[in-house]
Chain A
Amino acid sequence: MALSTAAQSYLEGYEAFAALGAEPPQLVELRSHARERFEALGFPSVLEEEWRFTNVAPLARSGLENLVEAGSVNAAQVDALSYDGCDRLVFVDGRVAPEHCTVERLPDGAFVGSLRQALSECPDLVLEHLGRHAPTQDRAFSALNTALFVDGAAILAPKGSIFERPIHLLFIASESAEGHAFYPRNLVVAGEASQLTIVESYAGLCNQYFNCVVSEFVGEQSSHVDHYRLQRESRASFHIATVQTWLDRSAVFSSYNLALGGRLVRVDTGAMLDGEGIECTLNGLYIASDDQLIDNHMRVEHKKPHCNSHELYKGILDGRARAVFNGRIFVHQGAQKTDAKQTNRNLLLSREALVNSNPQLEIFADDVRCTHGSTVGQLDEEAVFYLRSRGIEEEAARSLLTYAFANEVAEGIRLPEVRQEVEEFLFNRLAAGEIVRQAV
């Protein structure tokens, strides 16, 4: 099937979609524009610079259909994917599952719930931000999500609110999602001087599906947001996401993008630093094996002076896995005293694994400190020998060094439950994981 025809088939649901109920005119317009954009753009081809190394033909060919009705999951399945100490919103196949949501102790005036509910309870605030940050003009999948999303999470933190407990947004692809596509849509608005921690996690209980996500984050003046994105989709799944953040003066935003699953994964992470004195940290870890492809595209824009952005992305690839890292830091004219640092390091554990790493700087201000670096390499044989000469078995030495490579990112994760999940993943994945577990 040609890409354009395949793309068209996804819009078939669009008409049926209108039957979901009346939506505010702004949203109708937003969707209609997004739909037009997707129709015009179609699925991206590898001839496009932004998609050079990621061929979405397998997705186009897969014949997935839009999911009309969400499946269900049971309490045990939810519990297995939950974290202690977090408030939890559960979404099954992109729709909220109220019976599994547990939210307690919210600050006064805060909203934590489904986007659909937020649209009816506080439409003005939602519509002020929804679709205003994630670009759809030239982004096919962001446009597709905007045209077709049914629901997702909305977190609206009023001015000065402090969230004592992290909020876990748990997205599960149920067994009913097999062979289907769905489009979770999330909006987080951290009001002035608010503080909150958000975990977005994705998991699948079936094999092949397409999870097309857009998450928009707004950090108003002096807000503090800790964000974790833990992607552990099924190994035959497609996961294509846009995570777009807009930050105002003195906002602090820290995000960890942890990609451990999926067959074809693409995440476009963008941050717009639109006020002075912003601190933005975007770290990532991707671990892939077999024939997984994990593509991270980053775009950090410094629009105002005195902002810091730091990005550390590390990848571990085994088997025939492939990864793409494309990082762009864009410093606008007048964004003096920008301090931007971007680092991408890749560890290849097999001969067939491949990485395309492309860090880029575009600087239009003259008093800035911007650095970027990218490495692709194997384990340091000197280090392996050093460990072996102290009595550590070769396999254990390699596992320990691989763990250490990942841990540079993982150790920065402040939420213990998330850090432990990443560590567990590593212990299970590494050949001598048990020895590493004992050692660390």
Chain B
Amino acid sequence: MSILEIKDLHARVEGQEILKGVNLRVGAGEIHAIMGPNGSGKSTLAQVLAGKAEYEVTAGEILYKGEDLLELSPEERAQAGIFMAFQYPVEIPGVSNTYFLKAALNAIRKARGESDLDAVDFLKLVRERVELVQLDESLMSRPVNEGFSGGEKKRNEIFHMAVLEPTLAILDETDSGLDIDALRVVADGVNSMLRDDRAFVVITHYQRLLDYIIPDHVHVLVHGRIVRSGTKELALELEEKGYSWVEEEAATGEAVSA
């Protein structure tokens, strides 16, 4: 069974249709990259998957492990194992990063019928995972994302992911704004989490991230549709030629599978 199956998904925000029939199937153990020019609907797709209320699904369906995802609230999705790394992680003044993660992890464990992790085990887990993303430990006690640099915020997202251990992780332009060192850290974090029963959807504008996170499939989203799918070579081709040629193809209405 697929972990994620998106069928003819249409979605709009503020009355404007952004997604116009997206189809995607993500199997367990796979990494899918979704690329596309700005405004193509990449982030909308991520937000719809995470359950943001402002994004209205007007047609189509999303199945997560065979179940209707659209029926679930954002927290139910997270509890079911979906994680989205935000393109713009939100600053939460006054909520310490550690407290926040503890509340999140315990909510997820509770939904799975597991007991709360005790303080010792929790701290052990956090220490272990924070090393993975080489985040300064002082950022643990600071309010979530407040005063973090851009790179720290993105690494913090990966850190949250590493603690929450999702089944499906969606990375929404996690690479944007990162220097090469931070990019490697993020990629190492993701790579260390690869498992047969876990899947990644990596949304990116640039091919560069895919030098470090090797995708099994690459999809090109243009004007709210996946217009081309292929292997990692497609990403290299896009890097070389830019998006205009796929946009032209999209304009003619052909969806091509390479």
Residues of A within 8 A of B (CB): 380, 382-383, 385-394, 396-397, 400-401, 403-405, 407-408, 435-436, 438-440
Contacts and interface: CB of A to CB of B under 8 A. Distances in A.
A435 B52 CA distance: 23
Interface in B75-115: 75, 77-79, 83-84, 86, 89-96, 99-100, 102-108, 111
A439 B84 contact: no
Contact of A438 (B79, B96, B116): B116
B48 to A, nearest CB: 12
Contacts of A400: 95, 100, 103
A385 B52 contact: yes
25 contacts: A383-B90, A385-B50, A385-B53, A385-B74, A387-B92, A388-B73, A389-B51, A389-B78, A390-B104, A390-B107, A390-B164, A392-B107, A396-B103, A396-B107, A397-B75, A400-B103, A403-B94, A407-B94, A408-B93, A408-B94, A436-B103, A438-B103, A439-B102, A439-B106, A440-B96
A388 B107 CA distance: 10
A347 B106 CA distance: 27
B103 A404 contact: no
A428 to B, nearest CB: 18
Given A438-B106, A439-B99, A388 B74 contact: yes
B223 interface: no
A439 B103 contact: yes
A405 B94 contact: yes
Nearest to A380: B90
A393 to B, nearest CB: 5
The 6 closest A-B pairs by CB, nearest first: A404-B94, A391-B78, A439-B103, A388-B74, A390-B104, A386-B90
B219 interface: no
A50 B93 CA distance: 33
A391 B164 contact: yes
Interface residues of B, number: 35
Contacts of B84: 389
Contacts of A404: 92-95, 143
Given A438-B102, A439-B99, 5 more contacts: A385-B50, A388-B73, A388-B78, A390-B104, A394-B75
Contacts of B116: 438
A394 B52 CA distance: 13
Given A386-B86, A438-B116, A392 B103 contact: yes
Contacts, number: 90
A386 B92 contact: yes
A383 B91 CA distance: 7
B10 interface: no
B32 interface: no
B129 to A, nearest CB: 14
B89 A386 contact: yes
Interface in B36-54: 50-53
A401 B92 contact: yes
Nearest to B107: A391
A394 B74 CA distance: 9
B113 to A, nearest CB: 14
A436 B106 CA distance: 11
Contacts of A405: 94
A143 to B, nearest CB: 40
A392 B160 CA distance: 13
A22 B147 CA distance: 62
A393 B75 contact: yes
A387 B50 CA distance: 11
B111 A391 contact: yes
Contacts of B104: 387, 390-392
A407 B90 CA distance: 18
A250 to B, nearest CB: 32
Contacts of B95: 400-401, 404
Interface string B226-250: 0000000000000000000000000
Contacts of B164: 390-391
A281 to B, nearest CB: 19
A111 to B, nearest CB: 40
B150 to A, nearest CB: 16
A391 B92 contact: no
Nearest to B143: A404
Given A380-B90, A404-B92, A404-B94, A394 B103 contact: no
